[in-house]
Structure 1
């Protein structure tokens, strides 16, 4: 399942870094150098992230979660994150793979119940903040596992899945993905699934959808929809980024837009300032109450960067050969901003936004407040 989010781990399969001491990260009360932590009192929510170690080659979903990965996630200031489970792309059987993914996630939460918890409502996220834990939001990045049976929505909702993305990059039985023709509509079955997701108070995610499927779904959904991780096409014209029309419609319907840390610049490597520019454009189009952050990455840094670069390039070429690579992916353009990576990424973002003139209340909304309110509107609690 070659998602961009796990490319760092896939690259690690080709180059396992030697054990090295990584720099200590900020505590919950102070940041580096004893400076006050800008995240101390905030609820920080990553609307699409992960718990991966880019320095390990073992990609088995049932492999134990390393202490370092948990330590880094906690130290990053995260309160909650939407994690990808189950089928995304490839030859695996979608339904069985997705059920196993939920079972594996439940096992992980049980084994690390002192620091992880499962989020079913917005209240669970607030409780995680109070308890010093990270709330994991179970999400899918494809709905191919629904097959032709809309009642599978009920099964996955009962298992605790709270976010369902309708398509990955290719077309599926619900609609068009970002690699398919932009004019492909939401299908009749897709409309059935959206209606059932609404009824079960599951978030409908359109991050990887094609343009027409996104617009159709925003109009058809009785509940506000989510674009958990995207960029702004007005700033960089690639299909994986959303047009102003899509962004505005989602916001006008009460939805949420998360900006990722990979806006796919074709001419150079992205930086933290590029991410800020996409956040600012989204705020201009959607308003400051609809925009947040969905990094599409983890919080653990890379130890052997030079070795990882080569392996990453190989994996991008492999994704192209598999037909799942999104336009804009380049072998020499990392899917993260190197100056805003690792456990301090949210602190760096908060400070960058402050330096660019954004007031504290707006930064609080972008870093998690907006998603929390949106989740409460859809899930309750």
Structure 2
């Protein structure tokens, strides 16, 4: 893990407000040192120096994260969510080495006014409050264009890009996509496991594919410049989106079903179709997702088994990382929201050893240090590492964003 970025001044979320008066006083998880550091990498001095150089000098983009901080005591989770004031983990981001991060915020836990989540007014509230906080500091900046990413890199900042894991909140109103774009959303999924008006999610018994309204929504996203994601969509819906979109799409956080046979992973046919149209797959690391038979206890090594397979399948130019981490107890979050997040259906009944956290990929502060360290230790070239930690994503964004 890197030292704090020089640009970071120590700002903490919502410090312009009065804790306990303007919002509830809740103790939040540590952003650094919540779990022991990863011990799985043995780097020589030269490899360590190269890892730090690549993390510092190159454009590093996480295609999918949740960079907010969760309560230290997860019994406070519902109270924390109800107030709709997710704190961004500025301290952790200052140690991450990331140039840009696609932050998907509350998403399936967006339950401010309803336990069912995904309400349009709740999503707008979440976006607006997060943007108000971003506006009160100068280290993490709102990212909406490729230029914003390059400017962040040049100035030692982090470009924060708003994403949404599903378009459920637009209901049958395609113009809501324009509103969300106006709020800064630049990447959006089709469905989050449950079917919606656009198409089917991966938990459903049957997949009817992209609906006619879904086709209209894909067309509008292409026109607006919203990057499309199918990580949680059903297989047929994902294939329909790849076919209907005039721009390359992302599978922002996933892995291969050939490596670990659950619904949460995508079959190689979908991954290949995405790549053939110019798209990119981001490797997932949320707890108990990208497991492998070689490494069934979830860790960095499990995720990199998917990486090696996908690189062999579609080429290194179509693979990147969307670790899908957060600051706090991610396993505890899944336990609390198993119904909202369709955890049971995603695992498809496949047995696995449960872990307390994903060793080596526990939070956004450590992910890319360990990913790049692994790539360095396995003799990937600077050009290959540069591509998979940011270059491949930039290539797609240059085509998709307006």
TM-score tier, shorter chain, comes to 0.7 to 0.9
Task: State the partner residue of 2:183.
Answer: 159
Counterpart pick for 2:221 among 174, 193, 197: 197
Distance between the aligned counterparts of 1:222 and 1:211, measured in 2? 19
Distance between the aligned counterparts of 2:129 and 2:232, measured in 1? 24
- Answer yes or no: is the 8 Å Cα contact 2:62–2:100 preserved in 1: yes
The 3-state SS of whatever aligns with 2:278 is coil
Task: State the partner residue of 2:168.
Answer: 144
- Answer yes or no: is the 8 Å Cα contact 1:234–1:244 preserved in 2: yes
Deviates more, 1:171-180 or 1:325-334: 325-334
Counterpart pick for 2:156 among 123, 132, 136: 132
In structure 2, relative to structure 1, the CA distance for the partners of 1:171 and 1:378 (3 Å cut) is same
Q: Could you list the per-position Cα deviations for residues 103-161 of structure 1 after superposition, in whole angstroms to 9, with x for gaps in the alignment? A: 1121121022x211111111101111111111111111121111111111111112221
Give the root-mean-square deviation of aligned CA atoms: 3.2
Task: State the partner residue of 2:389.
Answer: 367
Count of matched residue pairs = 350
The 3-state SS of whatever aligns with 2:389 is helix
Task: State the partner residue of 1:82.
Answer: 102
For residue 256 of structure 1, report the CA deviation from its aligned partner: 1.4
In structure 2, relative to structure 1, the CA distance for the partners of 1:159 and 1:335 (3 Å cut) is farther
For residue 265 of structure 1, report the CA deviation from its aligned partner: 3.0
Task: State the partner residue of 2:5.
Answer: none
Task: State the partner residue of 2:322.
Answer: 294
Distance between the aligned counterparts of 1:18 and 1:375, measured in 2? 33
For residue 101 of structure 1, report the CA deviation from its aligned partner: 1.9
Q: Could you list the per-position Cα deviations for residues 74-121 of structure 1 after superposition, in whole angstroms to 9, with x for gaps in the alignment? A: 211011111114653642462111211221121121022x21111111
- Answer yes or no: is the 8 Å Cα contact 2:85–2:126 preserved in 1: no
Counterpart pick for 1:239 among 243, 263, 279: 263
Task: State the partner residue of 2:119.
Answer: 94
Matches within 5 A, 1:48-87: 48-54=64-70, 56-57=72-73, 59-60=80-81, 62-63=84-85, 65=87, 69-85=89-105, 87=107
Deviates more, 1:224-233 or 1:78-87: 78-87
Deviates more, 1:173-182 or 1:190-199: 173-182
Deviates more, 1:81-90 or 1:99-108: 81-90
Distance between the aligned counterparts of 1:375 and 1:252, measured in 2? 16
Does the alignment pair 1:252 with 2:262? Answer: no
TM-score normalised according to structure 2 size = 0.78
Counterpart pick for 1:354 among 359, 366, 376: 376
- Answer yes or no: is the 8 Å Cα contact 1:86–1:102 preserved in 2: no
Does the alignment pair 1:281 with 2:271? Answer: no
Does the alignment pair 1:115 with 2:133? Answer: no
Deviates more, 1:353-362 or 1:49-58: 49-58
- Answer yes or no: is the 8 Å Cα contact 1:163–1:205 preserved in 2: yes
- Answer yes or no: is the 8 Å Cα contact 2:250–2:274 preserved in 1: yes
- Answer yes or no: is the 8 Å Cα contact 2:253–2:283 preserved in 1: yes
Q: Could you list the per-position Cα deviations for residues 167-205 of structure 1 after superposition, in whole angstroms to 9, with x for gaps in the alignment? A: 001111111111113532111111110011011111111
TM-score normalised according to structure 1 size = 0.82
Deviates more, 1:177-186 or 1:199-208: 177-186
Distance between the aligned counterparts of 2:30 and 2:55, measured in 1? 32
5+ unaligned residues in a row in structure 1: which ranges? 1-13, 26-30, 303-307
In structure 2, relative to structure 1, the CA distance for the partners of 1:18 and 1:64 (3 Å cut) is closer
Task: State the partner residue of 1:6.
Answer: none
